[in-house]
Amino acid sequence: MPELKAIELLMVGRMLPMVGETLERRFTLHRLVDQADPAAFLAAAGPRICGLVSGPTSPVDKALIDRCPTLEIIANFGVGYDNVDAVHAGTRGIVVTNTPDVLTEEVADTALGLMIMTVRELGAAERHLRAGKWPDAPFPLTRASLRDRGVGIVGLGRIGKAIARRVEAFGMPVAYHNRNRLADVGYRYCASLVELAKAVDILMVVTPGGAATRHLIDADVLAALGPNGILINVGRGSVVDEAALISALDAGTILSAGLDVFADEPRVPAALIAHDRVTLLPHVASASQFTRNAMGQLVIDNLTGWFERGEVHTPVPEAMPKQWYL
Ligand code: NAP
Ligand code: 8YV
């Protein structure tokens, strides 16, 4: 077995402490955020770095990857890996891993919570109570209800399917849009997003980010969703054209929105914060100790498995180990 301590890893950005603490005990771990001069550090240590550890707020672009000529693996903390140039990593034979499945149910739970909060204006109702307004007036009846509403899921993958199961249990019809129609589900498939938005009252976005999904939810989709329509986004902020969303909320083109993700996190447009009907969460869909620890353990297992046995649990398709193709 190779001596793991001889292997140098670089953590890009901040991460759950247990990941760094465990990796530090097994490997030689450097943290880019601790370097006084990150560029000088990379120039000196890049040639020795065999593994990168990244998270959604830490971009791993072509330039960073190429600073590390002996890089073997990029282990990303998060199922979404739009922060990593996985295609470039793949062309260099570098394996990229993410953290699917272990967060699916948690994210689906949060998506349902966000949907109910938004539809029934529960955040605003709580603010009404805390502001001491209840003795003067009851909180107004909500314009929307889950009754008589259909849910359209944009991205019926692992998390989308877990959301769909929960929505079904609420007695609400489900439709979906993916690039590919699924053979294993009975939900209505809409080949276009506008068709899906016209067919439902709640649009639930749970696609990956990146160039292929940028601004999928644009002014046309919001217009198709209509004045009773509600947009929920637990995928990536980049999937929604935020300027078009703000205009649609201002104009009453749609009723409201519930957002866990934003285009420029952690910055959230003031125009969204000002909308009382909009429910805003600070990217917390997977953020329980239970689930984040499971994600962290998967990062550790992928790195340890790779350097001990040349095996990983969860490679992404663009950058898989060679033996997976055999
Ligand atoms: P997944 O199983 O890969 O599902 C992704 C789904 O999106 C697939 O059904 C895919 O179907 C669809 N899709 C991809 N590109 C599309 C496009 N251009 N147009 C329409 N549909 C498209 O991934 P997952 O595990 O469910 O995770 C989904 C995403 O959720 C992650 O990538 C991440 O961005 C986000 N996420 C957010 C949080 C949070 O904290 N808010 C937590 C976890 C995950 P086709 O390939 O057929 O199009
Ligand atoms: C992040 C997520 O991992 O998995 C994803 O794609 O967006 C989240 O679970 C989380 O924000 C880590 O910081």
Whether 123 is in the pocket of ligand 2, judged by its Cβ within 6 Å, is: no
| Domain containing residue 44: CATH number | 3.40.50.720
Residues 20 and 123 in one domain: no
Tell me the catalytic residues. Answer: 236, 265, 283
Residue 287 in tokens: 């953020």
Residues 152, 274, single domain; the answer is yes
What is the chain's pLDDT, residue by residue, as a tens digit (326 residues)?
569 999 999 999 899 999 999 999 999 999 999 999 999 999 999 999 999 999 878 899 999 999 999 999 999 999 999 999 999 999 999 999 999 999 999 999 999 999 999 999 999 999 999 999 999 999 999 999 999 899 999 999 999 999 999 999 999 999 999 999 999 999 999 999 999 999 999 999 999 999 999 999 999 999 999 999 999 999 999 999 999 999 999 999 999 999 999 999 999 999 999 998 899 999 999 999 999 999 999 999 999 999 999 999 999 999 998 877 65
Q: Are residues 273 and 296 in the same domain?
A: no
- 219 CB contacts (<8 Å, ≥6 apart)? 241, 244, 247, 248
79 lines ligand 1 (CB under 6 A): yes
CA quadruple 36, 42, 48, 53: dihedral sign: positive
- 17: helix, strand or coil: helix
Same domain for 116 and 257, yes or no, is yes
CB of residue 56 inside a 6 A radius of ligand 2 = yes
Per-residue DSSP letters for 184-223?
A: S--SEE-SSHHHHHHH-SEEEE----SGGGTT-B-HHHHH
Are 74 and 145 contained in the same domain? no
Q: What secondary structure letter does DSSP report for 260? A: S
Token pair 């877990």 is found at: 162
Q: Are residues 184 and 35 in the same domain?
A: no
| Ligand 2 mean position, distance from CA 286 (Å) | 6
Q: Write down the pLDDT at residue 326.
A: 52
CA 150 – CA 146 distance, rounded (Å): 8
Name every residue whose Cβ is closer than 8 Å to that of residue 263 and which is 6 or more positions away in sequence: 237, 238, 240, 242
Q: Is the CB of 80 under 6 A from ligand 2?
A: yes
Q: Which helix (H) or strand (E) holds 123?
A: helix 122-130
Ligand 1 atom having least distance to the Cα of 160:
26
Indicate which residue's Cα is closest to atom 4 of ligand 2.
Answer: 78
3-state DSSP assignment of residue 133: coil
Token pair 């054209």 is found at: 241
Same domain membership, residue 262 and residue 207: yes
In what side-by-side order are the strands of the sheet with 28-31?
28-31, 8-11, 49-54, 73-76, 95-97
Atom of ligand 2 nearest to the CA of 261: 7
Is residue 232 in contact with ligand 2, taking CB distance under 6 Å? no
In a shared domain, residues 9 and 45 = yes
- Nearest-angstrom CA–CA distance, 303 and 311: 9
Query: Does residue 258 share a domain with residue 196?
Result: yes
The two three-digit tokens of residue 128, written as one number: 């009404």
pLDDT of residue 188: 98
Residues spanned by the domain of 128: 104-280
Residues 237 and 311 in one domain: no
SS3 state of residue 44? helix
Nearest CA to ligand 2 atom 10: 78
User: Which-ligand-closest: CA of 104?
Assistant: 1
Do 236 and 119 share a structural domain? yes
Q: Could you tell me if 231 and 152 lie in one domain? A: yes
**Total tally of structural domains belonging to the chain:** 2
